[in-house]
Structure 1
Amino acid sequence: MLSRVGSNSGPLTDLVVLEVSARAAGAYCGRLLSLLGATVVRVEAPLVLDVPAALDDIVANSLNRGKQTVEFDSADLAEIARRCSVVVVDSRDDDAADGKFTAITRAVQEICPPRTPVVDLGGLRQTLDNTAAAVPFAPIIATAASGLAWGIGSPDSEPLSLPFDLADYLTGTEGAAAAALALLRSVGEVDDVGQHWDVTAADVLSYYVGQIGSNFLPYDRPWRRDGPRATLSGGSYPAAMFPCQDGWVSIMCRTQREYDGLLDGLGRPEWTRSAKFTDPRVVARLHADEADKHLTAWTSARTRDEVFAVGRQYGFPVAPVLTIAESLSEEQFAHRGFFESGPNQMVLPGSPYHLYRTEASEKDRTRVSGWPAAEAQSSKQPLAGLRVLDLSWVWSGPMVTATLRDLGAEVVKVEHRSRADPARLRGRALRNGVPVEGPELEVTPYFNQLNRAKRSVAIDMGSTEGAALIGRLAAESDVVVENMRPGVLARRGLDYESLSQTNPGLVMVSMSMLGQTGPLSGIRGYAPVMSGLAGLDSLVGYDSDRLIGTYNPALGDPNGAGHALVALLSALVGRQRTGQGCYIDLSQVEALLSVLTGPIIQTQVDGHVPVPANRHQRLPLHGTFACAGTDNWVSIAARTERELSAVGAVVNAPHTASSSSITALVREWTVDRDADAVANVMRAQGVPAARVVGYEEALFGERASERGVGTVTSHRWLGEQMVVTVPWKVDGHGFTAGGAAPQLGEDTEAVLAEVLALRAADLAELRQRAVIE
């Protein structure tokens, strides 16, 4: 019997987190840890947020729900600093207050015991040296320097940043996961907990770009702006927003089966019978513009609900692009009780997690975890000894398990040739324009990126014997991660309630699109479907008539993965302290809504949220400006009046010039100057600035090399490929990939022999009955 766990009894209960934040990054990091039971004490300070001034307090109070506060000059601060388990800071090197809050941050750190872990949420760092000079920061700078902005927008217009502090929220999520890992190592009493955990916004976004980018450059598909769709459909047609009579819908097919469902839903009109529209990968590469015209004609004659109904009937991923106001009234979120009551009859984002435990007696706890293994005593392999059973596919779930593998865990991926992971089906990579040789399922860089160094076990989950075998593997594992549609595992006896009967200490994460229950829980979808349902894609564009959405970065998946990691690692903290496992039901769409606190509040107060393009609602100067040459851009943000005056002096603005006048002068001044030179001039004045870089520089440039963004792996068929790894750093080092992705079933015999003690005769019999490969 499963029982629901509230935040007052969550896995981090009684652990104290000291939060010293002036940005959304630190505030959201603390918010997530609080939702999972931690006692979060926040040093009182104003937050700099992308909301109208009148909403500052409401949004800040929403982010600070459930926290305690302490004044910087209070006598209580020293005692809290002495007994806290981890410190979270986001302005150690730089702030939006001309250095005032940086001084406070450093003063607080001085009174903390030396061995207390510090999670340091930076903005843009050039090296791993945490004593290096700070680079002035605003979230738009991380979007520019990470390569993310290069992929958002129209090819004939400026690159777009992520709006509404989203880069900071994403960084805060990764920071909360790093904090949970530091707490796990602390309660596990390892020798080297790790003191300085460096989670930097530009690294986080580069990590996301590097993963999705493995769908682009290895196929000679550029990472660039392509309007309201993924560039060349991201490899499989379609992947775009389409207009309807009453708004927009997102349609995204990643497999032949889904594409065939779309064509069936269209009624197989004459144009679909042409051979060039048979294979969605060929359509994406050669015929997307032509196909878009046909699909647009069909969607434009229907409402969003009508298109959505056809998608549900024929099994292709589609969702309406909702406004924030429409998301607030969606029945699915009401069913799960996601929104909480706020002031003045408003609703606020609640928790995207539903946590459950089983009632188990001490005698039921028979399995002893291998964590921490001897290698885990070092912070270089902090999860060594942990075994993870990976029942997930595509991006979000495999990203979680790949991160755990980067951190030293053993990850056993269960798959089967008859229903291969769609990440294996993205087509052959190209080398000098020639398709790579090798088995069809082994030549996909995207799969190599998301499944690096895992062990592959080929088991037919659809068979009774196969499901039983997977259940036995779960009984010998610490963690299970899955992102299948609700009910799939339960029908095979692989739900948490069943698995925990033999392994009460098991931590399991189910990270479906909309959660395990509710009227929409069973719909199919990928990241753009998530961002459409959350209302995010209605906010990204040049204005309300030129929406772009987030097709290239596909933020629903990495955001969902980050939120899953926070809960998973926190649940391991709870297990280490109590012996009890935990079941985590995560809604990835609710996780997206959770990082849209500002727009959710603003739409209720003001009645709408403007599409900001690259504008900021509080900072006096904020934008992306054309520079000399073709398609060269620089992002600049002045956070204070001092910084605005410094920008004005650079561009020879009159002393009385307004912010809009200075912005216009900046636009004239940059147009015939080198983008790097512009950024350097602004940084020398203490003003945040960065050139908007493309994929190659973000992943292979000097900063990426200095920061250790990725690891070169050697794959049997793909050869050398650089894969990005978890973006956290600790005490001056990052985490490298342990190797390339496995071939399908490469480790079947070894794993079943090692973990389940199956003999050669047992394995031969299972293979003969097609239970394993």
Structure 2
Amino acid sequence: MLSRVGSNSGPLTDLVVLEVSARAAGAYCGRLLSLLGATVVRVEAPLVLDVPAALDDIVANSLNRGKQSVEFDSADLAEIARRCSVVVVDSRDDDAADGKFTAITRAVQEVCPPRTPVVDLGGLRQTLDNTAAAVPFAPIIATAASGLAWGIGSPDSEPLSLPFDLADYLTGTEGAAAAALALLRSVGEVDDVGQHWDVTAADVLSYYVGQIGSNFLPYDRPWRRDGPRATLSGGSYPAAMFPCQDGWVSIMCRTQREYDGLLDGLGRPEWTRSANFTDPRVVARLHADEADKHLTAWTSARTRDEVFAVGRQYGFPVAPVLTIAESLSEEQFAHRGFFESGPNQMVLPGSPYHLYRTEASEKDRTRVSGWPAAEAQSSKQPLAGLRVLDLSWVWSGPMVTATLRDLGAEVVKVEHRSRADPARLRGRALRNGVPVDGPELEVTPYFNQLNRAKRSVAIDMGSTEGAALIGRLAAESDVVVENMRPGVLARRGLDYESLSQTNPGLVMVSMSMLGQTGPLSGIRGYAPVMSGLAGLDSLVGYDSDRLIGTYNPALGDPNGAGHALVALLSALVGRQRTGQGCYIDLSQVEALLSVLTGPIIQAQVDGHVPVPANRHQRLPLHGTFACAGTDNWVSIAARTERELSAVGAVVNAPHMASSSSITALVREWTVDRDADAVANVMRAQGVPAARVVGYEEALFGERASERGVGTVTSHRWLGEQMVVTVPWKVDGHGFTAGGAAPQLGEDTEAVLAEVLALRAADLAELRQRAVIE
């Protein structure tokens, strides 16, 4: 029997985290660790947030729920610093207070013992060893320098930043995962824990861009702005927002089966019978504009609910694009109890996690306490010896397990030719316009990116014998990760309650779109369906009549993966300390709502949330400006009066430094200047600025090389391909990929022999009965 775990008894209970934050990055990092049981003590300091001034305290208090606080000059600070397990900082090198928070951060670090791990949430670092001068930072700078902004917007308008401090929230999530790993190594009494964990916002966003970008450039699909849809539909039609009578819906089909369901839902009208519209990959590349006209005509004649009902009936992924206010009243979130009561009858984001625990016997406690083995590990391979059973597919789940592999774990991916990972079905990569030769399921760069260095076993999960074989692998694993629809594994006896009977120390993560229970838990969907239901896509655009959404970056998946990783590593900390396993039921849509704290509060207080484009609700200057040449842009932000005065001096308008017209003056000044030159001049004055770069420079440019963004892998069919790896750094080094993705089933016999001690005769019999390939 499983029991629900509350935050007061979570896996990080009794571990102390010291938080020194002036940005949403550090505050949200501490919030996640607190939700998982840590005692988070925050050094009192105001946060710089993208919310109206009147909401500052409300949003800050929401982020700081469950934390304790201490004054910087308090006598208690030294004692807390002495006994804390990890320190989280986000303003060590630069801040939005002309150096005040930076000085406080460094002073706090000086009172911590030298071996205390520090998770340092930076902004835009230029070198791996961080020897270069600090780069002035605001979240808009990370979206510019990472390549993310290049893919959001309309081709005839400026690139769009992520609004409402979202880049900082994403960085805080990755920072919480790194902090959990540092805690895991500490409680495991590993000597080489790692002292300085560097999690930089621009690296985090480049990591996300590099993963989804592997589904673009290798197919001659540009990573560029294409309005409210993925460029060339991201390879399989459709992937876009469509207007309805009462708003918008997101429709995204990634497989032939889903596309056929869409056509069935449309009633197979005459236009669908043309050969042009048979294959969704052909439609995406050659006929998307024409298909959009037909689909728009169909959706425009219906309400969002009517389109949603057709999607559920015919099995294609669709969801209404909710406003933030609408998402607050969605029945699914009420069923899960996601929102919590706040002041003045307000609701606030709760925890996207439902944790469950099972007791371990003394035998099992001994078994799990032997991991990690100190002699087998270093900070370069911190998860060496951990075995992960990967039952996930597409992006979010495989991203979690790929990260674990980067960190040294053995990852065994279960597949089968009759139900291949859809990431294998994105079509052949192109080289110089010519399709790459090789088996159809082995020539997909997207799959290679998300499954680097894993081991592939081909087992028919649909058969009774195959499910039993997977259960035996789970019994010999430390972690299971899955992102299938709720109920799929339970029907095969592979749910956590069944698996934990033979492996009570197992940590298992189920990362479905909406959680394991509730009226919408069974719907199909991908990242844009998530961001539509969470209300995010109603906030990204040029104004409320010209929405763009987040189709190209598809943030629902990497955000969900980051949140899953925080809980998974924290659960391993708990297992290391107590011997108890843990089941994590994560709702990826709730994880998106969790990083929208500001808009959720603003929707309730102000009655609406503006579509900000590139504006900021507090900073006096914040935007993306055209420069000389075609499609050249620079992002600039001034956080303080000093920085605003510096901008005024640069554009020869010091008398206008306190006026809102400074934005217009900056726009006039940049338009005939080189973007890099503009960014350099602004940075020299201590003003955050960066040129908006495309995919190639973000992933292959000088900064990417210095920061170790990726690893070149050698794939049997694809040849050399650079894959991006987990964006954290520790003590001056990053984490590299251990190799290319496996061919389907290439490790089946080796894994079953090594892990389950099956003999050649056993394997031959399983092959003969088509249980394995």
Task: State the TM-score bracket (shorter-chain normalisation).
Answer: over 0.9
Residues 366, 579 of structure 2: 8 Å contact kept: no
Distance change (3 Å), C-alpha of 1:136 and 1:376? farther
Q: Aligned partners of 1:106 and 1:513: how far apart in 2?
A: 40
Residues 371, 576 of structure 2: 8 Å contact kept: no
Residues 212, 553 of structure 1: 8 Å contact kept: yes
Residues 365, 578 of structure 2: 8 Å contact kept: no
Q: Aligned partners of 1:69 and 1:306: how far apart in 2?
A: 49
Residues 505, 582 of structure 2: 8 Å contact kept: yes
Q: Deviations 1:577-601 (Å, cap 9, x if unpaired)?
A: 0000000000000000000000000
Residues 644, 659 of structure 1: 8 Å contact kept: no
Equivalent position SS for 1:13: coil
Q: C-alpha displacement at 1:753, in angstroms? A: 0.1
Equivalent position SS for 1:453: coil
Residues 357, 582 of structure 2: 8 Å contact kept: yes
Q: Aligned partners of 1:366 and 1:116: how far apart in 2?
A: 27
Residues 627, 675 of structure 2: 8 Å contact kept: yes
Q: Deviations 1:436-467 (Å, cap 9, x if unpaired)?
A: 00000000000000000000000000000000
Residues 513, 588 of structure 1: 8 Å contact kept: yes
Q: C-alpha displacement at 1:123, in angstroms? A: 0.1
Report the counterpart of residue 623 of structure 2 in structure 1: 623
Residues 12, 38 of structure 2: 8 Å contact kept: yes
646-655 or 236-245, larger mean C-alpha shift:
646-655
Q: Deviations 1:50-84 (Å, cap 9, x if unpaired)?
A: 00000000000000000000000000000000000
Q: C-alpha displacement at 1:659, in angstroms? A: 3.4
Whether 1:647 aligns to 2:660 is: no
Q: Aligned partners of 2:400 and 2:36: how far apart in 1?
A: 18
Residues 365, 504 of structure 1: 8 Å contact kept: no
Q: Aligned partners of 1:505 and 1:63: how far apart in 2?
A: 32
Q: Aligned partners of 2:377 and 2:589: how far apart in 1?
A: 37
Q: C-alpha displacement at 1:537, in angstroms? A: 0.1
Q: C-alpha displacement at 1:655, in angstroms? A: 1.9
Distance change (3 Å), C-alpha of 1:657 and 1:141? closer
Residues 17, 88 of structure 1: 8 Å contact kept: yes
Q: C-alpha displacement at 1:131, in angstroms? A: 3.7
Equivalent position SS for 1:199: strand
Report the counterpart of residue 580 of structure 2 in structure 1: 580
Q: C-alpha displacement at 1:658, in angstroms? A: 3.7
Q: Deviations 1:117-174 (Å, cap 9, x if unpaired)?
A: 0000000000012343100000000000000000000000000000000000000000
Residues 191, 377 of structure 1: 8 Å contact kept: no
Report the counterpart of residue 672 of structure 1 in structure 2: 672
Q: C-alpha displacement at 1:368, in angstroms? A: 4.6
Q: Aligned partners of 2:469 and 2:149: how far apart in 1?
A: 45
Give the alignment's Cα RMSD to 1 decimal: 0.9
Q: Aligned partners of 1:351 and 1:415: how far apart in 2?
A: 32
Q: C-alpha displacement at 1:367, in angstroms? A: 4.5
Report the counterpart of residue 698 of structure 1 in structure 2: 698
Distance change (3 Å), C-alpha of 1:649 and 1:24? same
Distance change (3 Å), C-alpha of 1:313 and 1:40? same
Q: C-alpha displacement at 1:660, in angstroms? A: 1.8
Distance change (3 Å), C-alpha of 1:453 and 1:375? farther
Q: Aligned partners of 2:693 and 2:663: how far apart in 1?
A: 22
Residues 190, 376 of structure 1: 8 Å contact kept: no
Residues 359, 581 of structure 2: 8 Å contact kept: no
Q: C-alpha displacement at 1:661, in angstroms? A: 1.3
Q: C-alpha displacement at 1:104, in angstroms? A: 0.2
Q: C-alpha displacement at 1:534, in angstroms? A: 0.0
Distance change (3 Å), C-alpha of 1:119 and 1:609? same
Q: C-alpha displacement at 1:657, in angstroms? A: 4.6
Equivalent position SS for 1:554: coil
Q: C-alpha displacement at 1:12, in angstroms? A: 0.1
Q: C-alpha displacement at 1:360, in angstroms? A: 3.6
Q: C-alpha displacement at 1:371, in angstroms? A: 3.2
Q: C-alpha displacement at 1:361, in angstroms? A: 3.1
Q: Aligned partners of 2:367 and 2:471: how far apart in 1?
A: 14
TM-score (norm 2): 0.99
TM-score (norm 1): 0.99
Equivalent position SS for 2:732: coil
Q: C-alpha displacement at 1:653, in angstroms? A: 1.0
Q: Aligned partners of 2:656 and 2:489: how far apart in 1?
A: 66
Equivalent position SS for 1:125: coil
Gaps of 5+ in 2: none
Q: C-alpha displacement at 1:46, in angstroms? A: 0.1
Report the counterpart of residue 767 of structure 1 in structure 2: 767
Whether 1:758 aligns to 2:758 is: yes
Q: C-alpha displacement at 1:549, in angstroms? A: 0.0
Q: Aligned partners of 2:370 and 2:303: how far apart in 1?
A: 54
Residues 91, 122 of structure 2: 8 Å contact kept: yes
Q: Aligned partners of 2:376 and 2:483: how far apart in 1?
A: 28
Residues 634, 675 of structure 1: 8 Å contact kept: yes
Equivalent position SS for 2:457: strand
Gaps of 5+ in 1: none
Residues 376, 383 of structure 1: 8 Å contact kept: no
Residues 369, 385 of structure 1: 8 Å contact kept: no
Q: Aligned partners of 2:36 and 2:62: how far apart in 1?
A: 16
Q: Aligned partners of 1:455 and 1:128: how far apart in 2?
A: 30
Residues 388, 481 of structure 1: 8 Å contact kept: yes
Q: Aligned partners of 2:195 and 2:177: how far apart in 1?
A: 15
Report the counterpart of residue 598 of structure 1 in structure 2: 598
Q: Deviations 1:172-214 (Å, cap 9, x if unpaired)?
A: 0000000000000000111200000000000000000000000
Report the counterpart of residue 273 of structure 2 in structure 1: 273
Q: Aligned partners of 1:141 and 1:21: how far apart in 2?
A: 19
Q: C-alpha displacement at 1:372, in angstroms? A: 2.2
Q: C-alpha displacement at 1:377, in angstroms? A: 2.9
Whether 1:237 aligns to 2:237 is: yes
Q: C-alpha displacement at 1:410, in angstroms? A: 0.1
Report the counterpart of residue 325 of structure 1 in structure 2: 325
372-381 or 585-594, larger mean C-alpha shift:
372-381
Residues 367, 503 of structure 1: 8 Å contact kept: no
Q: C-alpha displacement at 1:378, in angstroms? A: 1.2
Residues 651, 665 of structure 2: 8 Å contact kept: yes
Distance change (3 Å), C-alpha of 1:93 and 1:663? same
Q: C-alpha displacement at 1:362, in angstroms? A: 2.1
Q: Aligned partners of 2:360 and 2:476: how far apart in 1?
A: 17
Q: Aligned partners of 2:592 and 2:317: how far apart in 1?
A: 18
Q: Aligned partners of 1:255 and 1:375: how far apart in 2?
A: 45
Q: Aligned partners of 1:654 and 1:49: how far apart in 2?
A: 26
Alignment of 1:58-207 (within 5 A): 58-207=58-207
Residues 647, 657 of structure 2: 8 Å contact kept: no
Distance change (3 Å), C-alpha of 1:379 and 1:657? closer
Q: C-alpha displacement at 1:218, in angstroms? A: 0.1
Q: Aligned partners of 2:401 and 2:504: how far apart in 1?
A: 21
Distance change (3 Å), C-alpha of 1:370 and 1:752? farther
Quote the sequence identity (%): 99
Q: Aligned partners of 1:705 and 1:395: how far apart in 2?
A: 25
Residues 644, 658 of structure 2: 8 Å contact kept: no
Equivalent position SS for 1:33: helix
Q: C-alpha displacement at 1:376, in angstroms? A: 4.4
360-369 or 115-124, larger mean C-alpha shift:
360-369
Residues 86, 183 of structure 1: 8 Å contact kept: yes
Q: C-alpha displacement at 1:369, in angstroms? A: 7.0
Q: C-alpha displacement at 1:345, in angstroms? A: 0.4
